[in-house]
Amino acid sequence: MDWEPLLAAARAARKNAYSPYSGFQVGSALTAENGEIYAGANVENAAYGLTICAERSAIARAVVEGARRVTAVAVVTAASPPSPPCGPCLQSLAEFAGPDLPILLANLDGERRELCLRDLFPIPFKLPS
């Protein structure tokens, strides 16, 4: 898989993160089944529970544009090793992708780790049909 377009979009989004409380900037970009790339950044709030993570920001952007299936995700932070999505973000990704969803974790120093959703979130919550 060519991760470079997703990484570039995630890096660019990270620069626009609003993180005055934690100082932890995150950028994420996903590819949807329509082939489009949707990027997002974390947006913090003084009422911390209102903070939205970069991954959920990208998902929301994709959904607003009509996408319903995520096919790949890249997450960029400054952390070493590269940081994975949090639990709520993983659950959100599980809503729009299957367990084989490729996820690339990267940082600004070039470290990378490629996993799939099931590696990070083996048993997502699902409502019974």
> Quick one: tokens of 75?
């997450």
Q: Is 71 left (phi over 0), alpha (psi -120 to 50) or beta?
A: alpha
Catalytic residue among 55, 65, 111, 114: 55
Residue 55 catalytic? Answer: yes
Task: Report the distance separating Cα 76 and Cα 98, nearest Å.
Answer: 21
Helix residue spans in the chain (DSSP H): 4-15, 54-64, 87-96, 117-120
Q: Which residue has the tokens 């019974």?
A: 128
Task: Report the distance separating Cα 128 and Cα 38, nearest Å.
Answer: 30
- Which residues are identified as catalytic? 55
